[in-house]
Amino acid sequence: MKRCFDFCIALFALLALLPVIFVISILIYFKLGSPIIFIQERPGLREKVFKMMKFRTMLNSLDKDGVILPDEQRMTRFGSFLRSSSLDELPGLINVLKGDMSLVGPRPLLVEYLPLYTEDQARRHNVRPGITGWAQVNGRNAISWDAKFILDVWYVDNRSVWLDIKILLMTIRKVILRDGISAEGEVTMSKFVGAPKGNDNE
């Protein structure tokens, strides 16, 4: 039932938002350059790696030695707007149609984080990752990694279509308020370095 719900809503949203997607694509091309779509491998259901799609939000600026600059130096006002409005997530609807992602679920994080999870944290991969999720509507990037994983695992244990609908409605409110976009002192979220050893409940 959840998969059917995801597919129908994602298809309707993608078709309805095609004009918006077209305009954003044109703006990205002229303001940030190409490629327009940012593609990165992320772990999904049962840690199976897939290619997640988002709109590009940063410049590909390099320093004098050819090393890519830090995020805060590559982020433009336009890119920040795409993130704060969550418009950068629209290509993820294609991932939902393909079955790589769900509308609601734990956000897919970096592949390099997989060895760092505790056994309990790793349970976030028992469901498809989502475009939005319980952690996103309860703090998004403004909460700690520990809190984020606790919320992710809570969702895994309590998921239902009705909870998904609630989260989607809460997401709309969060997007309008642009709440929890980034962690303090960071453009988005600080890097996850793993849980303290000996603690498997975070």
Place of tokens 């129908």: 8
pTM for this structure? Answer: 0.86
Q: Please give the pLDDT value at position 201.
A: 44
100 close to 128: Cβ distance less than 8 angstroms? yes
Q: Please give the pLDDT value at position 187.
A: 52
Task: Indicate the pLDDT class of residue 202, thresholds 50, 70 and 90.
Answer: very low
Q: Please give the pLDDT value at position 59.
A: 85
136 close to 107: Cβ distance less than 8 angstroms? yes
pLDDT in tens, 36-61: 999 999 999 999 999 999 999 998 87
129 close to 104: Cβ distance less than 8 angstroms? no
85 close to 172: Cβ distance less than 8 angstroms? no
Mean pLDDT of 99-104: 97
Task: Indicate the pLDDT class of residue 62, thresholds 50, 70 and 90.
Answer: confident
